[in-house]
Structure 1
Amino acid sequence: MAMERQKRGMIDESRSFDPKTGEVQEGSMVWVPKPSKSQFGTDWFKMAQTTLKVINQHRKELGLEGIVVFNSLMARLDFQNFIQVSQAEIAEELDMKPSNVSRAVKRLIEHGFVKVGPKVGRSSTYQLHPELVWKGKNPAHFKARETARSQGWKVIKGGKDKPKAITSEEQPDLPFPL
Structure 2
Amino acid sequence: MNELVDPKTGEMVKVFIPFEKLKHRRGFFMADQDGMVALAKLDLKGRTKDVLLYILGKIDYENWLLINQVQIAEDLGMKPPHVSRAFKELENKRIIFKVQFLTGTRWGHKVKGDESKRWAFRVDPVYAWKGKASTRTTALQKVSRMKTRKMAEEIEV
Range of TM-score over shorter length: 0.5 to 0.7
**Does the CA-based 8 Å contact 1:66-1:104 persist in structure 2?**
yes
User: Which residue, out of 95, 98, 111, partners 2:77?
Assistant: 95
Unaligned runs of 5+ in 2: 1-20, 104-115, 150-157
Unaligned runs of 5+ in 1: 1-35, 155-178
The percent of aligned pairs where both chains have the same amino acid is: 23
1:44 and 2:28 are equivalent in the alignment: yes
Alpha-carbon RMSD? 2.3
Q: CA deviation at 1:153?
A: 5.8
Q: Which residue of 1 aligns with 2:113?
A: none
Q: Which residue of 2 aligns with 1:142?
A: 137
Q: CA deviation at 1:117?
A: 2.7
User: Which has the higher Rg, Structure 1 or Structure 2?
Assistant: 1
Q: Which residue of 2 aligns with 1:72?
A: 54
Q: Which residue of 2 aligns with 1:57?
A: 41
Calculate the TM-score normalised by the size of structure 1.
0.58
1:125 and 2:125 are equivalent in the alignment: no
Distance 1:89 1:124, change over 3 A: farther
Distance 1:153 1:81, change over 3 A: farther
Calculate the TM-score normalised by the size of structure 2.
0.66
How many matched pairs? Answer: 115
Q: Which residue of 2 aligns with 1:83?
A: 65
- The structure where helix makes up a greater share of residues is 2
Whole-Å separation in 1 of the counterparts to 2:66 and 2:100: 10
Which contiguous aligned blocks of 4+ residues in structure 1 show a shift greater than 3 angstroms?
118-121
Letter paired with 1:128? V
